Amino acid sequence: MSVPTELGYTAKHEWVVVEDGIATVGITSFAAESLGDIVYVEVPEVGSEVTADEPCGEVESTKSVSDVYSPVSGEVTEVNAILENEPETINSSPFEDGWLFRARISEEPTDLLSAEEYTKLTEGEE
């Protein structure tokens, strides 16, 4: 399982990177592998507000439906349009092409896990 060290992680299997006050959010490869083949993604609308640790979308696979929890609070500025027609992009490229949304953050996230901490967390769930 790939866990890029430059990202922050949540215990609910989302990743985030913040650059110039804009957070890019996605789900981890662990989450994508656990879900199986992703067939539908619901992301927050551009202009909507997301709140850290609150549900903001869903990922549906052939196995189940899982909520997506925002790791940040702020206003959604962009959603990944590719996922509308190609949700399986998350399975093949969860950390690059499969990102979910971007948001202008209202405050820096403080409770994120490092790659090392996230790897330890997922070792107990495999």
Q: Give the CA distances from residue 68 to residues 8, 20, 58, 119, 123, in Å, rounded to whole numbers and listed in that order.
A: 15, 23, 5, 19, 21
> Which domain CATH number covers 34?
2.40.50.100
Our count of domains for the chain comes to 1
Per residue in 105-115, pLDDT (tens digit) is: 998 888 999 99
Q: Is residue 67 part of a domain?
A: yes
Please count the other Cβ atoms lying within 10 Å of the Cβ belonging to residue 124: 6
pLDDT attached to residue 54? 96
pTM (predicted TM-score): 0.95
pLDDT attached to residue 126? 57
Q: Is residue 125 part of a domain?
A: no
Q: Is residue 66 part of a domain?
A: yes
Low-confidence spans in the chain with pLDDT less than 70 = 1, 126
Q: Is residue 97 part of a domain?
A: yes
Residue 37, domain extent: 8-106
pLDDT attached to residue 124? 73
Q: Is residue 19 part of a domain?
A: yes
pLDDT attached to residue 110? 85
Q: Is residue 111 part of a domain?
A: no
